[in-house]
Structure formats: C-alpha cells, structure tokens
Amino acid sequence: MTSSAAPDPAVLSPRLPSPLQELDDDRFARRGLRLLLKRDDLIHPELTGNKWRKLAPNLRAAAGRTVVTFGGAWSNHLRATAAAGRLLGLRTVGVVRGHELADRPLNPSLARCAADGMRLHYVDRSTYRRKAEPETLAAVLRDLGVEDPYVVPEGGSNVPAVRGCRALGEELGDHADVVALACGTGGTLAGLAAGLPPGRRALGVPVLKGGFLAADVQALQERAFGSRRGTWWLDERFHFGGYARVTPELDAFAEDFTARHGVPVERLYVAKMLYALVALAEEGAFARGTTIAAVVTGSPFPERS
Ligand SMILES: Cc1ncc(COP(=O)(O)O)c(C=O)c1O
C-alpha cells in the first residue's frame, strides 16, 4: 500500500474534544469536592479512550506501511490496533506474549484481532521481555518477514503517542484542578501532564506493581518534549495485586459506580483509578473546593469474564 492510499484517521470521525460530565456523588460532595468524568471512552466506539489519542498519530506516521505492535493475550492495545487496521485498510501484525498460545484456541480478545485482519505472531516470554532490545526486535521482525514495517511499542507509548496525549490536557484546560488517570506504561500521563495549564496537576494511578513508573514517565517526557513537563505525581497503592488482578472488592466497587452513575467501568485500569479517588477523598487528600476530573481511558471488553 502506498502512503497516498492510507486514509487519515480523522475520516473515522472521532468525538473530540471528548465530553466532560459532572457527577453527583455524595462521597465527594460531602467533602466539598466536585467530580467530573472526562469521557475519552466516547471518542470512538472501537478506538476508545487513550487508544485513539495514542494510535491516531502513529497511524498517520505509518503512512500505509504495515503496523507491527506487541501485547498480551488480552491487550486492549492489540484490539484497538487491529480495529484501526480494518477501518483504515492498513495491514497489522500483533506480536503476542506466550509461545504456548499458538497451540490453543484463540481467546475472545485475540479472536477479535484475527477477525479484524491482524496477523498474530507468538513469541516466548523471554523474547517478549527483551523486545525493546535492538537485536531481539530485529530478530522478531526478520521472522515476520514484513517489508518496511512501522513498529509501535507495547501499550502504544512512543514519542508520537505521548505528544498526541498532550491534547487531553489541553482539552481539560482550567476545567479541573486535579486530573486523575490510570497508568500502565505511563505514556498517557506523560502527554496529559504536558498539556495541562500551569497550576493544574495530574495524578497517575499505576495498575502494575513495581515502583518503576515515575522514572518511565519522566523518560517519556524527556524523549517527547526534551524535559520533564507539568506537575504530576503517582499514588502506587491501588494496583490490587498487579496487572489484570481484580478482587471481589474492586468488582463490587465498579458495579456500584455503574449503578450510581450509569457509566460502564473498565476493570483493569479505570476501576482502580476511581477506587483510588474515592479512597483519597476519604483520607482528606484534596482540599475543599477542589475540582477533580477522572479520565475514563477505556471501556469494558464484554467478552472478558
Ligand atoms: C483502558 C486503559 N486505561 C489506561 C491505560 C494506560 O495507558 P498508559 O499505558 O499510557 O499508561 C491503558 C493501556 O494502554 C488502557 O487500556
């Protein structure tokens, strides 16, 4: 496919800026706090949330080349990339963690990727861990045999993605004092914080255990903008045991949030961030009069039970 044949993602009519809704929630109101939801989950039905903000600049940069990217068996990022490929007529390849999966029936997430035309390529876990090392990446690409691929890292967090997420901060502008979002690789936080006006703060809630994220976010900002940007901090207490761990308590919290506000709550990221905000409000972490915006960075994948 030539670059002139690659349509711009704007043809997919994203809903931008995404809606900002005020919620009536007594857990915040009784402490003099306002809670807003930044509904990035409504940007596009298939490229929801931060997926749109991170993928759109990469799809432009790919300019019709085959997009090769990485993810686990339930990766939201792989599904979004596959959907983008179908919608825009781009070839996509997903490098999937876990060689053993090659011999098993596809789970619903990978089945969706395959149905959207993504070619799936499985690698063992040790290769997957080393995929950012140039020799390992070169070997994986050689195995794929794709000519002139456009490589997007796991989670989609590269320089174009981080720059793309700046628009999230710009859209929020002075509507909120504190903006909260869940973090995986930290790319969305890195961009968001850079786009906020002076005096506004971003709170990241990591969903992985490990304590490495602050350094990663700073490194992403240095690569994308040349230096650390904006005011941001992390609260590392709300990972619920680590990536993809969902406890009955978290599940009940998310169900209750949906019952109160009619908003579907994605469990692996969004639920942990909303839980953190309620806990922080209870602790008195925010001064009375603070307006908090919670970013809904994705929607639930119904087939994941
Ligand atoms: C729904 C959702 N929210 C938040 C994130 C975290 O984004 P990031 O990896 O940029 O920190 C992800 C992962 O991309 C996600 O799928």
What is the distance between the alpha carbons of residues 18 and 13, in angstroms, rounded to a whole number?
Answer: 12
Task: Specify the pTM.
Answer: 0.95
Which residue is listed with tokens 């504190």?
A: 178
Domain presence at residue 36: yes
With a CB cutoff of 8 Å and minimum separation 6, the contacts of 50 are: 40, 165, 168, 187, 188, 295, 297, 298
Mean pLDDT along residues 156-171: 98
Q: Which atom belonging to ligand 1 lies closest to the Cα atom of 48?
A: 1
Rounded to the nearest angstrom, the gap between the alpha carbon of residue 178 and the centroid of all alpha carbons in its chain is 19
Which of 107, 122, 156 is where one domain is finished? 156
Residues 61 and 134 in one domain: yes
Residues 132 and 218 in one domain: no
Residues 8 and 128 in one domain: no
Residues 18 and 140 in one domain: no
Instruction: Kindly report, residue by residue over 245-303, the tens digit of the pLDDT.
Output: 999 999 999 999 999 999 999 999 999 999 999 999 999 999 999 999 999 999 998 77
Q: Among candidates 200, 202, 194, 190, which has minimal Cα distance to 234?
A: 202
Instruction: Kindly report, residue by residue over 44-67, the tens digit of the pLDDT.
Output: 999 999 999 999 999 999 999 999
Domain presence at residue 235: yes
The pLDDT of residue 1: 44
Task: Judge if the beta carbon of residue 81 lies within 6 A of ligand 1.
Answer: no
Tell me the CA–centroid distance for residue 77 and ligand 1, in Å. 8
The pLDDT of residue 210: 87
Confidence of residue 2 (pLDDT cuts 50, 70, 90): very low
Task: Judge if the beta carbon of residue 188 lies within 6 A of ligand 1.
Answer: yes
Tell me the CA–centroid distance for residue 50 and ligand 1, in Å. 6
Domain presence at residue 304: no
C-alpha Rg value of the chain to the nearest Å: 19
Domain presence at residue 305: no
Task: Judge if the beta carbon of residue 75 lies within 6 A of ligand 1.
Answer: no
The pLDDT of residue 3: 46
Task: Judge if the beta carbon of residue 187 lies within 6 A of ligand 1.
Answer: yes
Domain presence at residue 300: no
Instruction: Kindly report, residue by residue over 72-127, the tens digit of the pLDDT.
Output: 999 999 999 999 999 999 999 999 999 999 999 999 999 999 999 999 999 999 99
Question: What is the 3 state secondary structure string of the chain?
Answer: CCHHHCCCHHHHCCCCCCCEEEECCHHHHCCCCEEEEECHHHCCCCCCCHHHHHHHHHHHHHCCCCEEEEECCCCHHHHHHHHHHHHHCCCEEEEEECHHHHHCCCCHHHHHHHHCCCEEEEECHHHHHCCCCHHHHHHHHHHHCCCCCEEECHHHCCHHHHHHHHHHHHHHCCCCCEEEEEECCCHHHHHHHHHCCCCCEEEEEECCCCCCHHHHHHHHHHHHHCCCCCEEEECCCCCCCCCCCCCHHHHHHHHHHHHHHCCCCCCCCHHHHHHHHHHHHHHCCCCCCCEEEEECCCCCCCCCC
Instruction: Kindly report, residue by residue over 176-213, the tens digit of the pLDDT.
Output: 999 999 999 999 999 999 999 999 999 999 999 988 99
Domain presence at residue 302: no
Q: Name the residue range of residue 70's domain.
A: 50-156
Rounded to the nearest angstrom, the gap between the alpha carbon of residue 128 and the centroid of all alpha carbons in its chain is 20
The pLDDT of residue 184: 95
CA distances from 260 to 37, 152, 207, 284 (A): 13, 38, 24, 22
Residues 74 and 194 in one domain: no
Residues 144 and 180 in one domain: no
